[in-house]
Structure 1
Amino acid sequence: MPLSCRRAGSGFVVRHGAAPSGEVGGRLFLWHWSRQDLDLAALARLELLQGSVTDDDVAGASLVVGHLAGLGHRRIAHIEHHETDPTRIAEMPNAQRADGYRLAMRSLGLAAEIDVVSTSYTQRGGYEGAKELLARPRRPTAVFAGADIVAMGVLEAFTEAGLSVPGDVSVTGYDDTTFAAFGPISLTSVDQAGTEIGSNAARLLLERIADRRKTSVQVKLSPSLVPRRTTAPPPE
């Protein structure tokens, strides 16, 4: 995976998902820079040496499920990213979002309706996941795609199948990317408070540079739901 970081004086801010995958790669990366007396505030789910700022993905997934259930949906499916590396499962947001979906479904008395498709966090993964859901004997009335790019593939598959969104099926994404707000798409999504994540990461970095003895800090921010035109009550 390509390295993505920004240097600020004697420190780096590492973008989420930028460190090498797996426990060894990620820890070697952090250890290497720490040995050079640099400071890190990373936007990633790694066991960081200097601090982290993350979005609460479990809470975000709960917001999505709560929104859909509030509209009257019961058959709510989720498309997750397939991951087999145990360390990545613990670190990355896809697993947190899937866990949040399951917890929310159970808390709303919808455990029997839990339906998870594992593909990839790509447009192609969303398309294939939607095709799998369309083949179900009982098609879901709502699909929670684990990322906005996945939702793009879901929308493509449903359009190809002649289904109306949200008339026949509701669709949500996650990340509130630029194209989610694009008028013709108008995708319901979850805002990760990216500006706050960036400002908090910069603050942690500067505080660490000023005081190298400062205790490592982990900051978790609360996401917010952004309802748009891809969600509505289920068809009668």
Structure 2
Amino acid sequence: MIRGIIIDDEPNNITNLQRLLEKYCPEVIIVGSSSDPNNGIKLIKDSQPDLVFLDIHMPEKDGFQVLKDLDSYDFEVIFVTAFSQYGIQAIKFSAIDYLLKPIDIEELKKAVAKTSNRLKHKNQNLQLQNLLHHLKESNNNSDHRIAISSLKETRFVYVKNIVRCESENSYTLFFTDEGETIISTVPLYEYDEMLSIYGFIRCHQSHLVNKKYVRSLLKEDGYTLLLYNQNRIPVSRNKKDLVKKALV
């Protein structure tokens, strides 16, 4: 569910957008609306929405000024306007999308889908950050586990048992010392900082290696890490100095 707010100086536009969302984007629940931008700012602060549909051209205060008055905001924004010249400014405000009135249903559905995807990744990032915080707070890391989100389950794996991680498009493959491969739906870069405090080395754009499983650094057509299980992991040219330093 996406909690949404609509701010538009024309009440008819608010009603029309609500009807479109109810029919074509039921995952969006409108928790409030306002035809006055100042009331809209208060509504945003009180409701803490995931998404704000924001009209740009309003007589008292335009949509850009609404965002400026908030100082900072952690919700997604879809600008809605009858005037096409605001597109570049909308981009500068990191809007998820920019819809022209009258609203095209397919464009609305695409914008909501993008919002849903961004919120999903934002939640994953927050979970990882919270986990990282708790891991750093603990002094004894020998029994630390991380949560690996796969398509069907969340696996809890001891960090000390992870040999290496490998990027596979937007997924991450975890290889354990027991020969198991676990597929995570989170990309590799999300694990980079988390695992660096445990001695993992980002030796390549696609590889993260637990240095305790590294047997040697080979020089053969470039550099390669030889692991105790005989796996050979490439070292990118711009990472070789970092790898050498980490292994000393």
TM-score range, shorter chain: 0.3 to 0.5
Normalization by structure 1: what TM-score? 0.36
State which structure, 1 or 2, has the greater radius of gyration over its C-alpha atoms. 2
Greater strand share, structure number: 2
Normalization by structure 2: what TM-score? 0.35
